[in-house]
Structure 1
Amino acid sequence: MDSLITAAARALAKGDTLGALKRVALRDDPPALALRGIAMAQLGDYARAKSLLKGAARAFGPREAVARARCVVAEAEIALVSRDLGFPEKALEAARATLEAHGDPINAAHAHHLQARRLVLIGRLDEAERALAGVDPASFLPAHRAAHALIVAGIAMRRLRTGLAREALAGARQAARDAQIPALDAEVDAASAFLETPAARLVSRGEERVLLLSDVEELLASGALVIDACRHSVRAGERVASLATRPVLFALARTLGEAWPDDVSRGQLLARAFGARHADETHRARLRVELGRLRGALNGLAEVYATDSGFVLVPVGAARIAVMTPPVEGQHGAVLALLADGEAWASSALAIALGVSPRTVLRALDALAADGKVQPVGQGRARRWMTPPMPGFPTVLLLPGPLPSD
């Protein structure tokens, strides 16, 4: 490899994008194309970056398997950063295997990290942890140690292990300082902000207060019966009753929980669960049926008793009932939660992350765009959706992936 290519690669590793481009901007040999592609990705021109990397991969000869594999890994990183989660996993896995077989452990570990980051984004936390288990960060360069620690912190935050998350973020911060890459420092700062951002609201005994992520962890470990409007479930300790697919039952449970220890009138329950302003015998009969279903769904967690004026929710084995809600509520909250990271997402990537159909996501995006909450960028297959981060609006509790005991 000639001196200009070596110097450009070193400049990119230090975050000096313009310095790298000065050395290879006028060259069209495969190594120069690859380095220019990485540089353009660092400058945010992902379309041009992908084109250059694809050209470099084609130009490398059949004996240059390692170089082609590195191009594939770079393409995968661009896809991840631009929230194109449809990038072929098999291609990335094959590239990682090639790098390992040819004695390039650093880039192979980077491929591992990309696989883990994608799994975290789509909520497959167990698989992400298994992907990290085969990687020892001790021998990494500082930038790769920081990336590894950021993934560990992201998994810990989604599992509500704030102590582990803080420890990982401290390691990431030190590694980022050692790397002396400003963009990496900024990424660590952004991740750390999640721990200090309101994550939920607590409604208990008629009072309401804001919860940080550590407060949520403490609440779920307190033994209280928690009616969780972030995940649409009812939980007490290790026991969880999911009502995510039963909105009427969850609306009834939440209404009863917000009133606890008092009861709720039948009229209030009908209005909250069915939107019935003028209840008739049909509505009252349906209410009795749905409350019976709620008793069955909460078996062992809580009981629903009739009172003179309505119904009351009584916890089983818990001292109190608390209702936990997102800081900002509204329709399509899960889509907004993903877009709140400030990145531009493809609608197909949102569908993969949320586990719903692309048509459902497009309807949600159209509704949010009509309200001015999101905006499209680009046209056709290149269209992305984004919104600036909303102050006070968290993402962790609404992001894909199970909480403890889910």
Structure 2
Amino acid sequence: MTEEFTTIAELGYGAPGTKLELRIVRTWTPQVRTYETWFLAVDKHGDAIQILGQNKDQGYIQSVLNLSKCYTISKYACGEPDAFQKWIDNDVYVVVGMASSISALSDTSTIPRNWFHFVTKKQIPNFINRSPDFLAMFVKFRDCFKKNSEPFTLIILRNNFGEEIAISLWRECTDVSDKFDRIAIQNEAGPTVIAVTNVKVSSVAGSLMLGSTSATHVYVNPRIAETIPLLDSYAINPTSSMTISVPLTSLFDINKKSRAELLEKTFTVKASIADLTFIDTWYHVLCPKCKKTTWKQGNSWFCTSDGVTNNPIYVYKLSATITDPTDSMNVIVSDNVMQKLTNTTTDKLIDDTETNNIRRLPSVINDKKDLSKKSGHRNDEDIKYKQHSIHINRH
């Protein structure tokens, strides 16, 4: 008698099928639900499903299911994902545990090795509160900070139409090496295609924002059919897909805009730095593990989350007054920009013998005043504009 198997498309809530034949393509543990471990699996028809192992079953499932391997699974249940569990457009997920039957299946070419749900930039408005995938050429990283000073990484991509896609990668992605390897991306020789999975599309004050989720993985030159046209397009005309013309905006026009028009937007301006200032201190001292603010403790620094450290991270904490022929405005200058302006890092400017060095601006920084700088999206130097306490930084 022929053995019966169920496909992912046949699964439904409360009515699981017989045996499933699947390949595990991704796994993750949510940052705020550490008792859950999720796996993304695909069947021979190219359909995907989330698999959950949780609580007392979590460790067992983690030891049984391995990335890229194929399995036969039976004795499982189907659940309906809540708002914090749904990372793909499937109305059910598979729940497995120690009572389930899971056996290794010989590797087979009939089950795909990858699964993605790519969308174009034009399709983004159709995916609000959903988590599609994106594929495009890597342009650069930007080191940014949230309003609470927590750092995050902005990855800039560009598709074959020359359209820019900016995705905020939060720490739940960047702090996990299996999900994100910045050094590997930066060291990749030649043009680099990047796939970013499970990106949350959110609407904030009328603007669409792209941010990573617990399920986000960043792949470098993925071995899929869609990678080849992108690389071919770059090989034919490398400048057309990597460089686009960005119009300049005057400071006068920016200052006229309302709060809603400024929120999470990026403008390109050509302006001079008239002054560089700080409020309390000109640099931050951050914990090397959690990147939170640390506190001086003798010759060391203390982090409330990770304890004493002798090797903190020093970053610039400066504002600037910039001017152009039309107007002036105050902006926040990122650590990355200041490193380029001064050709040095913060720690090299600190004199440990000076007790008040944290409140005294080094001369090398004062010398940068009145320097004409062009900042914005075509330039390597990026200034986050602050107007009415709002960061103008379109994602």
One fold, TM greater than 0.5?
no
Q: TM-score, normalised by structure 2?
A: 0.28
RCO (CA 8 Å, sep 6+): is it higher in 1 or 2? Answer: 1
More strand by share: 2
More helix by share: 1
